[in-house]
Chain A
Amino acid sequence: MNHKLLLTSALFFVCFGLLLIFQSQNLGQLRIIACDVGQGDGILLISSSGKQILVDGGPGTKIADCLSQKMPFWDRTVEMVVLTHPERDHLEGLLEVLARYKVKMIMTTGVVNDTELFRAWQKAIGDEGAKIYTPKAGDRLVIDSISGRTLSMDVLWPTSEKLAIWKIVPPTELNESSIVLKVNLGPSVFDPEAQTRRADGFCAYLVGDIPRETLEKVLTGKCQVLKISHHGSKTGTNQAILDSVDPKIAIIQVGKNSFGQPSKEVIDLLESKGVNIYRNDLNSIIEISTNGKNLNVKSERKINR
């Protein structure tokens, strides 16, 4: 009798759980999830085969909750973690991620910041034993390639010259060292014929806190999605950038803050171009999913602006 009860309830719970979990998964799509980490950045990419790349971890530990909600419960591995630059609002949550998940690769410029937090980070990545990758402009990382569609990431910034200089003289402004990435989903890059059918590809710029003067120089063409630099500060966005990216969707990773972010100038600029604005402070978690052709945006709260 005892066993029957145990087995019955176990079966019930297992079925119930599996049902909900499988419903909440959508494999086969690239998902770009802008986690609501408060005033900071934290973007989770999940490839169509279920690989995770986390770009920044925000302040505090809220990022862990976001990962838990968006990753299947049995998956305790994050394939790659990217630290765009070593400031608290991008870094702190990554320590929590290292403590909770197995991380295979860490992308970081190696630029140092003289804080207790940064020293804790250095110790943590040492303990994790993950492969460290230093990105250089021009690098292309192929994440996966499924049914003729390739997910890749282009490194646009920093350049190897800059990295060499920063090794000797650290940058006066850490934002200047922010990694800029372009995420591409489209026909295989190794298939020249497919290259010509470029039109149905998808791409997104993830730019960290990079200043606008740098950003406008490194952009390579139009993209559907632009993560607005520096939490919507006017130091990160200008007309020229919006003209060359021509985004349909802008993500502003911002929380309650005393810096007046996002700036009214940036919002006005985006609105004048008819860009759909999604902000973590108003929309909570923002999830963009795409198969390369169709684009779908899901956010938790309604926009109430």
Chain B
Amino acid sequence: MKILGYSLAILLLGLAVALKLSWQEKEQILPKNRSIKLITILKKEPKIYNAKQILEIGDGKIYVDLYPRYKIGDQLAVEGEIDSTGQINNPRIQKVGQKASLAGFFGNFRAKIAENINKLLPSREATLVGGAVLGVDEIEQEFRDQLVKTGTIHAVVVSGQNLMIVAGVFLSLAKIIGRRQSLVLATTASFGYALLTGFEPPVVRATLMVLASTLAIYFGREALPIWSLILAALLIVFVWPQAIFEVSFQLTFAATLGIMTLGRRLANLGPKSEARISKSETNTNVQNSKSKTVLNLNYSNFNIVSNFGFRISDLLIANAAIAISAYVFTAPIILYYFGKISLLAPMANILVVEAISPIMILGFLVAIVSLIFMPLAQLFAYFAFVPAFYFAKVVEVFAKIPVGQVNLGKGNVIVIVGFYIVVAILMIIWGREKPEP
């Protein structure tokens, strides 16, 4: 109960922050289809894609050449043509001033880290390491296409999975530094991570959801994580009603829910058979083996290792379960919005998922150390290169496989609902055979 209290306290804290943010989040609506002249302050770090800088101003997007580079806090006088979708191509821009702000401070901090990582690693590996640590602003087009095609782009943005790893790493320290401390650390780290990645509302929402469910799964019982996830989602919808229509929110919710439900079932499959074997052959305590499976999905491989000894099969199964369940639960949403989904994604994700935790952990080390002493950061970067290189190679190989994408059900609600019903029925059928721990 005490733990539930903590979770609630954290949610309320998050809510307070969220409320404050939503207060500031008055989106500027630009006029459309006319020539436009405006003076504005950049609130978001420019994205770099396809040899263009993309500056987001309210609901509009300005496309300009790569140089000069702009950054958060720059006050710009913009003069150009805006089209019906809010795009302004190559307007005349003059930098008229600069405004210091907290967002600007974190923006520069982020930019500095990204710059350092780019200096330490080859471009694709730098994209992966930088993306896992900060979320990417800059991504080379060919690599982006490959990531999209293999359904692995979530690794370089602030995804639920990445947030779970951050929370999981700190929560797994509970045995060493105590529960309460690990809880505080995990919360701080998650919000710190959200802050680093720009603290945009979608990130804050994802942080809240993931934190709520990860904390619950770690400290609570079977049913609690799903309830706290739903509770978090409800609170978020209460604060940002428009979020419910946003793809990012739906994806995070679906992926987290999938990992909580289907993922845990799947993760139980492997060790269950193992438990049978151990009962007949080595007579290991089955009870012990089961409690291990409950904790299997703490999203920190280290946890399994430190608590229950090294079993590589468990680790692989747990990771694969995360990848598959997230894929299954997000597939309908992706189909609904984009009308196509990669058939390669589950396999590619099962293979790359092993590399994500090491990339993140080493990535954080590189990021922090690079601010202090570059040569040492270079050493860590060499270590981070290995999993990142593996990730990049898997993506490259899978992107070459000529298996296409499924085109289905764009904008079709029946397909989506049907898909979820089928998944639910399957889970009920298969769930019944097995006594729940």
Query: A60, B310: Cβ atoms under 8 Å?
Result: no
Which residue from B69, B118, B385 sits with its C-beta under 8 Å from A73? B385
Nearest residue, chain B, Cβ from A58:
B51
Of the listed residues A14, A61, A99, A116, the one surrounded by the most CB atoms of chain B closer than 10 A to its CB is A61
Residues of B within 8 A of A116 (CB): 65, 67-68
A22 close to B (CB within 8 Å): no
B66 close to A (CB within 8 Å): yes
Residues of B within 8 A of A (CB): 48, 50-51, 65-69, 115, 118-126, 138, 140-143, 302, 305-306, 309-310, 312, 358, 378, 382-383, 385-387, 389-390, 393
Can you report 20 residue pairs joining A to B where beta carbons are below 8 Å apart?
Answer: A4-B310, A5-B305, A10-B383, A16-B386, A17-B386, A17-B389, A17-B390, A21-B389, A60-B51, A65-B123, A65-B140, A68-B123, A68-B125, A71-B122, A73-B125, A73-B382, A73-B389, A74-B382, A116-B67, A120-B67
Residues of B within 8 A of A196 (CB): none
A62 close to B (CB within 8 Å): yes
Query: B390, A13: Cβ atoms under 8 Å?
Result: yes
Instruction: Report the Cα distance A16→B48, complex, angstroms.
Output: 32
What's the interface size class on A, roughly? 35 or more
Query: A16, B306: Cβ atoms under 8 Å?
Result: no
Instruction: Report the Cα distance A76→B374, complex, angstroms.
Output: 13
Residues of A within 8 A of B65 (CB): 88, 116-117
Query: B51, A68: Cβ atoms under 8 Å?
Result: no
Residues of A within 8 A of B50 (CB): 60
A71-B122, A95-B66 known; A13 vs B386 contact (CB < 8 Å): yes
Residues of A within 8 A of B (CB): 1-2, 4-5, 9-10, 13-14, 16-17, 20-21, 38, 59-62, 64-65, 67-69, 71, 73-74, 76, 88, 92, 95, 99-101, 116-117, 119-121
Of the listed residues B67, B305, B310, B393, the one surrounded by the most CB atoms of chain A closer than 10 A to its CB is B67
Nearest residue, chain B, Cβ from A13:
B386
Which residue from A9, A14, A60, A99 sits with its C-beta under 8 Å from B115? A99
Instruction: Report the Cα distance A92→B48, complex, angstroms.
Output: 14
Instruction: Report the Cα distance A106→B122, complex, angstroms.
Output: 21
Instruction: Report the Cα distance A117→B68, complex, angstroms.
Output: 7
Nearest residue, chain B, Cβ from A121:
B67
Residues of B within 8 A of A1 (CB): 305-306, 309-310
A2-B306, A95-B66, A120-B67 known; A13 vs B387 contact (CB < 8 Å): yes
Minimum CB–CB distance from B269 to chain A (whole Å) comes to 22
Minimum CB–CB distance from B74 to chain A (whole Å) comes to 14
Instruction: Report the Cα distance A172→B314, complex, angstroms.
Output: 69
Instruction: Report the Cα distance A139→B274, complex, angstroms.
Output: 73
Residues of A within 8 A of B51 (CB): 38, 59-62, 92
Nearest residue, chain A, Cβ from B48:
A61
Residues of A within 8 A of B115 (CB): 99
